[in-house]
Structures are given as structure tokens and as C-alpha cells.
Chain A
């Protein structure tokens, strides 16, 4: 394929001042022209868009690809390609692989496999501490040098406050952004559900709100003291939104995200014992969900991510507490984003801000552009195409979704990132 012409798409590029129907001509690695001259398009592969949407590529702040360590669940190739076909052009892998991302060898392995996968662009968060443990700092400078975009403790909390304090100070010295997930190591340890009505009813070990808010309070104080740029990942409580709002009001350089399931479900979705709704942090009350939605709408929460955690079938085929937490999220990220629009939580521009543009800013990446010479990073979406999510139409190897059977709209017809272009077989 040499050049591709998308003709008559509605361009949702409000951040670049483009919100209209237009033609886009591009080739692998390069945008050639917005509104090209006819003679430029002579040999182009033409895609008639009929007013379908051209949007910036979605950017997912958290997707486990399961490689290295758990390739029986998924691998870099399967998930990076599934991401691209679902309109996610860039994604971030948290450091809790096996082994964890605390050495340049692991960084190089993941980034090399990701390049070979020719799917979404993969960014990597390095571990803040060795083995994501509680004893020593990881080689943060080395990790950045090997290609990590940030460092963090995603997946495993640092319980030693003094170690975290040093880590944040050290990261601040290197001007490395830090991604923190706030889970108190003792409160709610061993818990599998929000410590509320459903846990009480079903006899499940509870995780109280304080497991998150206490850790968030500590981390905010340490972040403020260290003066480090910090991103707070996967908030689950309405109370946490208030705490982030206060921190921002104090002028702290902090940002936050929420995982899509937290915006759609609540503790009652576990009933009677649905292992697919077993998530960490847990699904909390409907008031928490509403608070998270309000926070996302107002921009206190900057971004929404899929928190993609693909599993093999056996991981969820056990009594509830023995199942592995997490949901496969790539295949529902677009559809649920459009549902946020349909539910009136976000405008289309607001959704693209939270799911594509803000994540890029958090990662220090440039916003997608359609200017000549820019790197392609966009997705053509049919927003009216509707389907019922099922294992059969999921592209991720992980079929573990709490949204099975949900009617979701939005189909990706073309996704382009840098030199990779994926076009739906029907186009």
C-alpha cells in the first residue's frame, strides 16, 4: 500500500481546530495532506468515509499484555494488535510483568517485541523499586535510558513510606514522572470486594474505602514534599476525586485516571458471584461510580483507561475469591467511551480529551496532528455500528469481560499509527 485517501470523514480534531468534513491523504509514517489536490491522490487507496468519524487515536494508560510471564493469557503481539484494531493507537504497560520491569533487559525485551508486533505503540512504565518490592530503589535513570516513559508502582503498593519518599525525591531529581496506584497494604489485604452491602451479603472479604484514601493521602503529601510530577492511577472512590481536586487546587502537578469498569458498574454487578466483575480496586457503590463520572466530566480526573487485564479461562473458573482479578478491556474501550457520550457524561470532544489527548499529555507525548509531514495517529470510526459484545467478536485473547452481552456502538474501520495501518476487511 502506498497512499491512502480517506474521503469525506467528519474530523473530530477540535484540539487542532478542525471539526468538519474533509479528506485526508497519508502514507505509512506520514500525513501527506489535509484536503489534498486531486492530482495528489491519483494512485491512492480510497476509503469512502460517508461522514464517519476520524478521531485521534485512543491512548490507553493501562494495558497488561502479559508478556513476559503469563503468555498463556495473552502476549504482546496479540494484545498490541487487538488494541490497534480497537482504535487504541498507543498504550501503556504497567511494570508488574514477571519479571517486573526493573532492569533494562526487560525493558528492551518488551519494547522489541512490541515493535515486532506492529500493533499499537507500546509505552512502558518502569518499576519504582526493585522487584516492585519494599527495599531498594530501581535504577530509575537506567530504566528511562532504556525507554521507559515514566516510573511507578502500579500493581503493587510501596508500603514502606520512607522508601517511597526517597523514590519520589529521586524521580523528581531526574524529572521523571511517577505513576502511583494507591492501595494500602494492610487495610483490606486479602479482600476481594468493596466493603459494603454486597460483601456483607455474600460473605466476601471487604476492601474499605480507606484502603485507597489513606494511601492517597500519604502519597499526596509525599508528592507535594518531593515536588515530583505524579499521576494517580485507577481511582475507585468518590472521596478520592475530592482529594485530587483539593491537591490540584493547591497547585500540585498531579493528574489522575479511572478505569472504564468503574464508570459503568458497581458492587451489585458482582451478584451472585460473578468472577468477571472481580476487580482490584473493587467495584464500589453507585455513589462512588457517580462521583467518578462527575470527576471525569469536570476534569478532576484527567483520563479514562481500559485497565486491560486479559486472563485465560481457568483464571476465572473458580469460587469468586480464588479467581484472578481484572477484566479484559481493549474490546470495550471504544464502545463504552461512546456510552459515556450517550449517557451525557462527556461530549464527543470531552471523551476524546479524556481517552486520547489527556493521556498523551500525561505521558509527555504530542497531540496527533493532520498537518503535512505529521506522524499518522488517527482512527476512522463508524459511530452507528452496533454489536453485542461476545467472546466471539473480541480481539484480545482475554475473553474475561463483565460487559458480555452489552450493546456497544462504534466500529473501527481504519487505524493508523506511524508506519502501521490497519484497515477493516470490509473496507
Chain B
């Protein structure tokens, strides 16, 4: 019995990419494409979620992610409440369950949850009342499923045949919920070869069993890749002795134009943001012709609209792929 997938194959919650069948992932990509034109035109709203209430429940500060969820809900005509819980109740000692119970008393339809701990979204979904959906907007190092979906969607727009692709993920995989969800999504979508590239200190043990080939040398790992995804390196990793310094990291694992040139000529470069220019990625690459980093942001809006509509049972108007 799955917590997030109903017996008839719909998402009750979106907690992780793990266990979501390929057809459902493709269905969300198709729905996102249908919603893309609405997402890109701010003056147009769809009435799909009119009368529904969505609560952005952020236990970890993140203006960017919260804004895209807020915008996505607004474009679907839902009412949106933003709660920055990091700064309120939990710091007063209220338990997560108490916070949840209080919010449920307000009768909302969906919680969009971001939390610093792995498994928090599962925990909330397990304890939420019947009929309240949980959308995981990032839990600890565990999962960031909408990010992986929007990345898969972005890849699909540029390179529709997943089974022909080699995708390389570069950087701090160990601490990255984005990378975990991407590996699951690309694996389910049948990507030909998945690679993770980084120093052994930033690659989780047994990651090979999740279908990834591990490279510690960037030049080797990036060779002939169709898609290269750089991950953010957080500053505090220096303190934990995962890497010696930002400059040394950049020297070995920074995505520079010379290195991108080792990949396929039509390779696209992605980054989940926010970027550390000059640490994991060079500006010339981030702003270069192969970069689709800004497109990821627009696609993220469409994908979040698609996920919210799907979970709350709204029928997305069909549109052909452009």
C-alpha cells in the first residue's frame, strides 16, 4: 500500500519520486506542457482550483521556492496562505504534530511543505487528516520531487528520447535532495546512463545501487554527456571537511566552458539554483548558449501547476507538445 499513489494510479500526495510509475511521470510532463502558456503569461488565470486553499508550510526559509509554489497556486485561482513556521511556533517548542493540527483546523486542501529533516513530508502525510494533500517542497536531504519533475520536463523539451541520453550530475550529491529525486526520476524515465561526479566525500555510500555510475574525475565523467546538471555546494561543507576550499573545489569540479566542451556539442547545462558562480559553475557557462537554467525556473511554475492540479483532481486541458 502506497502512501502517495492511490490504487487507481493517481497521486494522493507527492512526497518522493520513488515508486511513481513512468506513465504518471510522463502524464505530469504532458500536463506541464499544456499549462506552460498560462504559466508564462501572468495576466491569465485558469479556474482549475477556484475555492481551494493551499498552505505553504515552510519550516526552512526559501523565498524562491515558496514564490514559485505561490505563483503556481495563484495561476490556478487557489487561495494561498504562506506560513513561515521556521520563525514562529516550532521555535516556541510546539511539536510538528501540534502545528499540523492547528493548521488543519483551518480546513485547507493542500500543504506545500518544506522542512530541514529527511522524512518530514512523509511524517506529515501520515498524520494529516483524510483529504488533505501533502506536496513535498524539499525535506532534508531526502527528496525534492517537483524539482526533479521540472528538470525531467526541461530535459524532455530539449531531448525528448530519454532512452538515448547520458545525464551527468556534478557536485554535492550527498547533501542533495535534488540529486536523489533526479536519480529516481531519470531512472524511471529510462535514461540510458546516469552518472554522478564528485569527490568521494560528497557521494553517498551505495549510490551505485540507485543506478548511478560514480566518477571522481569531472573530465572523464562529463565526456559525451547530453545533459550536465551542476549542484549547489553549500558553504558549510568546508567546515565539515568535505572539501578543503571553494577554490580547490572549483579547480576540480567547477563547470567551466572547457569542461562543458568535453560533453556532446549539443549538451544542455542545468542547475537547480541558487547558483554559486565561481564555485560550482562558471558565469560563462551559467549564462552561455547551452544553459537552460532560466528556462528551468519557468518550467518549474508550469510543473508545479500540473502537480497541484493533478493531486487536487482538476482536469488539465490537453494541448499538443509544441
Residues of A within 8 A of B (CB): 195-197, 199-206, 208, 272-273, 314, 317-322
Instruction: Collect the chain B residues with CB atoms within 8 Å of residue A197's CB.
Output: 205-206, 209-210
With A201-B180, A203-B180, A206-B204 as given contacts, are A317 and B97 in contact (CB-CB < 8 Å)? yes
Which one of A200, A203, A204, A273 lies within 8 Å of B206 (CB-CB)? A200
Please name the residue on chain A nearest to B144 by beta carbon: A203
Q: A202-B118, A204-B118, A317-B97 are in contact. Are A272 and B205 (CB under 8 A)?
A: no
Whether A199 lies near B95 (C-beta < 8 A) is no
- Interface contact A319-B118, CB-CB below 8 Å: yes
- Determine if B3 and A272 form an interchain contact, defined as CB atoms under 8 angstroms apart: yes
A contact residues around B118 at 8 Å (CB): 202-204, 273, 319-321
Determine the residue in chain A with the shortest Cβ distance to B3: A272
Question: Who on chain B is nearest to A317 by CB?
Answer: B97
B119 touches A321 (CB 8 A): yes
Please provide the 9 A-B residue pairs with the shortest distance between their CB atoms, ordered closest to farther.
A203-B141, A273-B119, A203-B142, A200-B204, A319-B117, A319-B120, A320-B119, A197-B206, A203-B118
Can you name the residue of chain B whose Cβ is closest to the Cβ of A285? B206
Contact between chains at B142 and A200 (CB < 8 Å):
no
B122 interface residue (CB < 8 Å to A)? yes
CB distance from B188 to the nearest CB of A (A): 14
- In this complex, what residue of B is CB-closest to A195? B205
- Please report B residues at the A interface, Cβ cutoff 8 Å: 3, 16, 18, 95-97, 115, 117-120, 122-123, 127, 139-143, 177, 180, 204-207, 209-210
Q: What's the minimum C-beta distance from B220 to chain A, rounded to whole angstroms?
A: 22
In the complex, besides A201-B18, A319-B119, 18 extra interface pairs with C-beta distance below 8 angstroms are A195-B205, A201-B180, A201-B210, A202-B119, A204-B119, A204-B141, A206-B204, A206-B205, A208-B205, A272-B16, A272-B119, A273-B118, A273-B119, A273-B123, A317-B127, A318-B96, A319-B139, A321-B118
Among A314, A319, A320, the one with the most B-chain Cβ atoms within 10 Å of its Cβ is A319
Q: A197-B209, A202-B119, A314-B95 are in contact. Are A321 and B140 (CB under 8 A)?
A: yes
Min CB–CB distance B270 → chain A (angstroms)? 20
Would you list 18 pairs from A and B whose C-beta atoms are within 8 A, ordered by A residue? Answer: A196-B205, A197-B205, A199-B206, A201-B18, A201-B180, A203-B140, A203-B141, A203-B177, A204-B118, A206-B205, A208-B205, A272-B16, A272-B122, A318-B95, A318-B96, A320-B117, A320-B119, A321-B140
* Chain A residues, CB < 8 A from B207: 200
Contacts of A204 in B (CB 8 A): 118-119, 141-142
Contact between A200 and B140, CB atoms less than 8 A apart: no
Cα of A318 to Cα of B120 in the assembled complex, Å: 8
Beyond A319-B96, A320-B118, A321-B140, whether A199 also contacts B205 by CB under 8 A is: yes
Closest A-chain residue to B127, C-beta based? A317
- B123 partner residues in chain A, CB cutoff 8 A: 273, 318-320
A200 touching B210 in the complex, CB below 8 Å, given contacts A206-B204, A314-B95:
yes
Between B95, B97, B115, B206, the greatest number of chain A beta carbons within 10 A of the residue's beta carbon is seen for: B206
Q: How far is the CA of A204 from the CA of B118 in the complex (A)?
A: 6
The smallest C-beta distance from A162 to any residue of chain B, in angstroms, reads 24
A residues in contact with B127, CB < 8 Å: 317
Is A200 touching B205 in the complex (CB atoms < 8 A)? Answer: yes
A193 to B, closest residue via Cβ: B118
Q: Closest B-chain residue to A206, C-beta based?
A: B205
CA of A205 to CA of B204 in the docked complex: distance in angstroms? Answer: 9
Separation of A346 and B140 alpha carbons in the complex (Å): 42
Known contacts A195-B205, A319-B123, A320-B117; is A203 also within 8 Å of B143 by CB?
yes
Q: CB-nearest residue of chain A relative to B123?
A: A319
- With A273-B118, A318-B96, A319-B96 known as contacts, the answer to whether A202 contacts B142 (CB < 8 A) is yes
Which residues of chain A are within 8 angstroms of B180 by Cβ–Cβ distance? 200-201, 203
The residue in chain A whose Cβ has the minimal distance to the Cβ of B97 is: A317
B210: chain A residues within 8 A (beta carbon): 197, 200-201
The answer for the CA separation of A199 and B174 in the assembled complex, in Å, is: 10
**Smallest Cβ distance from A143 to chain B, in angstroms?**
37
CB distance from A270 to the nearest CB of B (A): 9
Query: Closest CB-CB distance, A301 to chain B, in whole Å?
Result: 25
The minimal Cβ–Cβ distance linking B187 to chain A, given in whole angstroms, is: 11
Residues of B within 8 A of A203 (CB): 118, 139-143, 177, 180
**Inter-subunit contact B95/A273 (CB<8 Å):** no
Residue of B nearest to A314 (CB): B95
Q: How distant is the Cα of A195 from the Cα of B122 in the complex, in angstroms?
A: 21
- List of B residues within 8 angstroms of A319 by Cβ: 96, 115, 117-120, 123, 139-140
Minimum CB–CB distance for B196 against chain A, Å: 11
Q: Whole-angstrom distance from the CB of B214 to the nearest CB of chain A?
A: 11
B212 to chain A, nearest CB (A): 10
The CA of A195 and the CA of B177, in the complex, are separated in Å by 16
Write the nearest CB–CB distance from B4 to chain A, whole angstroms.
10
Task: Pick from B16, B18, B96, B118 the residue with the most CB of A within 10 Å.
Answer: B118
Contact A322 B142, beta carbon cutoff 8 Å: no
CA A200 to CA B180, docked complex, whole Å: 8
Output the nearest chain A residue to B141 by Cβ-Cβ distance: A203
Bound: A412/B188 CA distance, A: 50
Shortest distance from the beta carbon of A341 to any chain B beta carbon, whole Å: 32
